[in-house]
Amino acid sequence: MRHLLPLIPLSLILATFCPYANSASRPNFVIIFTDDQGYGDLSCFGGDHISTPHIDKMASGGARLTSFYVAAPVCTPSRAALMTGSYPKRVDMAVGSRFGVLLSADSKGLHPDEITIAEVLKEAGYKTGMFGKWHLGDQPEFLPTRQGFDEFFGIPYSHDIHPYHPRQDHFQFPALPLLDGETVIEMDPNADYLTQRITDRAVQFINTHKNEPFFLYIPHAIPHRPLHVSPPYQTTIDSEIAATLQQENGSIDYKTRDRIFQQAIAEIDDSVGLILETLKQADIDENTFVIFTSDNGPAVGNAGPLRGKKGSTYEGGMREATVVRWPGHIEEGSTNNELMTTMDLLPTFAHLAGAEVPKDRVIDGKDIWSVLTGETKTPHEAFFYHRGNDLAAVRSGGWKLHVKDGKPTELYDLDEDIGETENVLAAHPEVTLRLMNYIKPFTSDIATNSRNSGLAEHPKALSK
């Protein structure tokens, strides 16, 4: 059986594994995970095309993580890595069954035997809630409530997987379902209200569980295309654009909606502000670890100084503007350039919560708590970039080597050239050889120690 801890008293487990076991309560954890937001799409990361005062304030009270990575440049594999602490290829979630990501009525999903970050914390006595976009399988056996979440409200995949998709003639997508738990409560919900409704449920969860340890995962559907904002944010939209939006008549003008990016980010920022204020009002702000990041690079937004965007294994596709805050534990107003990843959150949260990391499988993430506090350097000797199932690059220290068909093609010194503008492959054969030597052992380990995705028989589109 999985998920069972040895029969050891919880107090002994906490005293052994958790540095805060003697505190009044263990830390709460909040992950705010936006969709397709670029490295330059925060004003505290240099973005001057948007304004994010609440996230900026969060950064001034915590740390900016400037070398924080997701494990894939698109939705499904990136989220699989966050949930499992493992590279997407290791858990067979690097691609969907018929597309680069999972689609509606997909036979594929995150295997029920995977142990997610929610399950790790739930086993340690945490309440777990998820409000937003899942995208790890829409069949009943793959839903968040089967993967450790006590509560779920949101959509099973991206909100563009609906009948108004520009390539609907090809995809033939069904109506978009909105779920509460495992029940479809609406079909084709008004996407203008998604950010607001997700935030409201997250706030409700905090207030309900403020007197017990909790894990809250908020994967927003925005700013993935098509962009949407609720009515209060529509008042600042140019009248010509607003008129076009109102005249869509059953279709969705994606390009016009791209022009409301500022408003979409403003609503996300206000959502972050409300979450932080709710924690403060509940008097649990100082006992809550909050991290803000995104699932991959931008489709509409701005990658700032980075090259590439969503779908790319250049830095712009996988390095994310990330802010972390835990008052009294993470230095206020600091900047941390150590290499860290979303895969590290599972073992790090487990460490802080006194929970156990699964020992019967390879977990690629590392405990980065001492890195976040500035006590140690990154534990990652190398980090690997994938495009689907193909290994496309490897980073070690400040060096990043791109490969194609197993051969080196580009080398960049990211410490000096964050934008990957000058290929110095020819000038550094010794660095190239050193990075190439990481690839064979890693690919061999993945082949030997990989796990299967889930497979549903006779998948059906969700309906009310």
CB 89 within 8 A of CB 386: yes
CA 45 – CA 265 distance, rounded (Å)? 14
> CA dihedral defined by 333, 337, 342, 348, rounded to 10 degrees?
-70
Q: How many helices (H) and strands (E) does the chain have?
A: 14, 17
**Cβ within 8 Å of residue 88, ≥6 positions away:** 71, 72, 76, 77, 78, 80, 81, 94, 386
CA 167 – CA 189 distance, rounded (Å)? 20
Instruction: Choose among 151, 98, 97, 101: nearest CA to 122.
Output: 151
CB 76 within 8 A of CB 96: yes
177-180 and 319-325: which strand pairing? unpaired
Annotation says 159 is catalytic? no
Cα–Cα distances (Å) from 246 to 237, 239, 249, 259, 267, in that order, read: 12, 10, 8, 14, 20
**Cβ within 8 Å of residue 168, ≥6 positions away:** none
Kindly name the residue from 135, 220, 386, 402 that is annotated as catalytic.
Answer: 135
Annotation says 75 is catalytic? yes
340 Cα distance to chain centroid: 13
Kindly name the residue from 18, 54, 75, 162 that is annotated as catalytic.
Answer: 75
Cα angle 279-282-287, degrees, rounded to a multiple of 5: 60
Locate all alpha helices (DSSP H) within 46-193, ordered by sequence. 53-60, 75-84, 117-123, 168-171
The structure tokens listed for 184 are 């479809």
**Cβ within 8 Å of residue 432, ≥6 positions away:** 401, 408, 411, 425
**Rg (Cα) of the chain, in Å, rounded?**
21
Q: Which helix (H) or strand (E) holds 179?
A: strand 177-180
User: Looking at the annotation, which residues are catalytic?
Assistant: 75, 135
